[in-house]
Chains A and B, each alone.
Chain A
Amino acid sequence: MPFTPPSRTLPGPRRRSLLAGAAGAGAALLTGCSASDSPSGADGSSSAASRARARAARDSERLAERYEAVLAVHPALGGRLSPLLAEVVRHAEAFGGGRASDAASGSATATGDAGKTAAGSSADPSVAASASPSPEVPATEKEALGALAAAERDLTDRRVKALAGVPGELARLLASVAAAGAGHAFLLTEDEK
């Protein structure tokens, strides 16, 4: 029985090209998602699933905003954070979120717009209300990294807990993104160990 050699992926390119690429690929990913989402169409609870999906997209968008806020205060962390931010952006897109304009402008303060567009299709007052202003960024790089790692871990935990209530294909994506978040948390704090 042979090992199946998985396709190798390498750490991504630097921030500028990644964000541009992510913004460009957003639309394609979105249509890809809706087309391939439920091949059987047999998941009786599709509205609950689409709510879970929208929430997951917003969670990733919020997380991307935290990365951007940290980068705005600590630009020297760019080499380390940009590849992770690019992945968080891809996560949001995979869940159907779109922050193309946000990413293109490189702004770290577009919380209002992001909240509006994200909540657009499924108006959810509790979520809209929780759209917070720009998160506080700790003054030192180390603390900022630690805060991001905590945010990643917190989100990973919430995603794993949310698995029980969603259809299989979405659960698979959620579990993968949760696992990626755990890897991010490790990379954000590995030099402390």
Chain B
Amino acid sequence: MSGSGGAGAQAGAQVTARPGTSAELKAAQAALGAEHAAVYGYGVVGGRIREDRRTEARAAYDAHRARRDELTRAVRDLGGEPEPAAAAYALPFPVTGPESAVRLAAELEDRVAGVYSDLVRAAGGDRRGAAAEALREAAVRAVRWRGGSVAFPGLAERSTTATASAAPTS
């Protein structure tokens, strides 16, 4: 390879110079990081989930891998270097059986929803649409795992306000 020196880097520099793009790149990297974590996390979920929900966990795992690959491309398109996956991730709580596996799956979706809502804000055009679609899918999976809804998926600042005072239901 004798190339004429840094044509790729130059194209990247042009892209990053566009106003607003650095915020989008940052949000895309954050989303990529969350998808890496979700792929890892669903590996843990898959090992502990009850038989009758294994297909669902597998479908979610595949969906997050696809989103991860999509974001890897998006980060490159934005002139960035895609953040690699970590070797391992600290789980938010010990996953010891089917019940905690389901809880972890719901947490993973919550976290992914959070980064996608930020990406919706930072991105424009098709990438905004893709982020909104990913947010929608994560929110529906979270509802499935949890068996209940939250009012504002992906908006952490609103999730603590009103639904925190959950009364026991009959």
Which chain A residues have a beta carbon within 8 Å of chain B's beta carbons?
1-7, 9-14, 17, 21-22, 25, 79, 83-84, 86-87, 90-91, 94, 156, 160, 163-164, 168-169, 171-173, 175-180, 182-184, 186-187, 190
Bin the interface of chain B by size.
35 or more
- The answer to whether residues A94 and B166 also contact, given A175-B117, A186-B144 and a CB cut-off of 8 A, is no
B144: chain A residues within 8 A (beta carbon): 186, 190
Chain A interface, DSSP helix/strand/loop, else mixed:
helix
Residue in B86, B113, B125, B154 whose Cβ sees the most chain A Cβ within 10 Å: B154
How many A-B residue pairs have C-beta atoms within 8 angstroms? Tell me.
Answer: 158
The reply to whether B111 and A6 contact each other, CB–CB distance below 8 Å, is yes
The reply to whether A180 and B163 contact each other, CB–CB distance below 8 Å, is no
B128: chain A residues within 8 A (beta carbon): 163-164, 171
B159: chain A residues within 8 A (beta carbon): 6-7, 9
Which chain B residues have a beta carbon within 8 Å of chain A's beta carbons?
33, 37, 41, 86, 89-93, 107-108, 110-111, 113-114, 116-118, 120-122, 124-125, 128-129, 131-133, 135-136, 138-140, 142-144, 148-156, 158-167, 169-170
The reply to whether A9 and B125 contact each other, CB–CB distance below 8 Å, is no
Distance in angstroms between the alpha carbons of A4 and B155 in the assembled complex: 14
The reply to whether B132 and A160 contact each other, CB–CB distance below 8 Å, is yes
Q: How far is the CB of B162 from chain A (nearest CB, A)?
A: 6
The reply to whether A10 and B163 contact each other, CB–CB distance below 8 Å, is yes
From B122, B143, B154, A176 is in contact (CB under 8 Å) with: B154
Distance in angstroms between the alpha carbons of A175 and B122 in the assembled complex: 12
Q: How far is the CB of A76 from chain B (nearest CB, A)?
A: 14
Distance in angstroms between the alpha carbons of A124 and B149 in the assembled complex: 33
B131: chain A residues within 8 A (beta carbon): 175
The reply to whether B166 and A173 contact each other, CB–CB distance below 8 Å, is no
A163: chain B residues within 8 A (beta carbon): 120, 128-129, 132
The reply to whether B140 and A183 contact each other, CB–CB distance below 8 Å, is yes
Distance in angstroms between the alpha carbons of A182 and B137 in the assembled complex: 8
From A2, A21, A94, B152 is in contact (CB under 8 Å) with: A94
Q: How far is the CB of B82 from chain A (nearest CB, A)?
A: 15
Distance in angstroms between the alpha carbons of A25 and B158 in the assembled complex: 13
A187: chain B residues within 8 A (beta carbon): 143, 148-149
* CB closest residue in chain A, given B91: A3
The reply to whether A172 and B169 contact each other, CB–CB distance below 8 Å, is no
Residue in B113, B120, B161 whose Cβ sees the most chain A Cβ within 10 Å: B120
A-B contact list, 14 entries, CB within 8 Å:
A1-B90, A3-B89, A6-B159, A10-B148, A12-B166, A13-B166, A84-B149, A90-B152, A156-B136, A172-B155, A176-B153, A176-B154, A178-B136, A179-B153
Beyond the given pairs A3-B37, A3-B90, 20 more chain A to chain B contacts, judged by CB atoms under 8 angstroms and listed by A's residue number, are A3-B91, A3-B108, A7-B160, A9-B150, A9-B164, A9-B166, A11-B166, A14-B167, A21-B165, A87-B150, A94-B158, A172-B121, A175-B131, A176-B117, A179-B113, A179-B154, A183-B139, A183-B150, A184-B149, A187-B149
The reply to whether A13 and B154 contact each other, CB–CB distance below 8 Å, is no
* CB closest residue in chain B, given A86: B151
The reply to whether A9 and B163 contact each other, CB–CB distance below 8 Å, is yes
B156: chain A residues within 8 A (beta carbon): 6-7
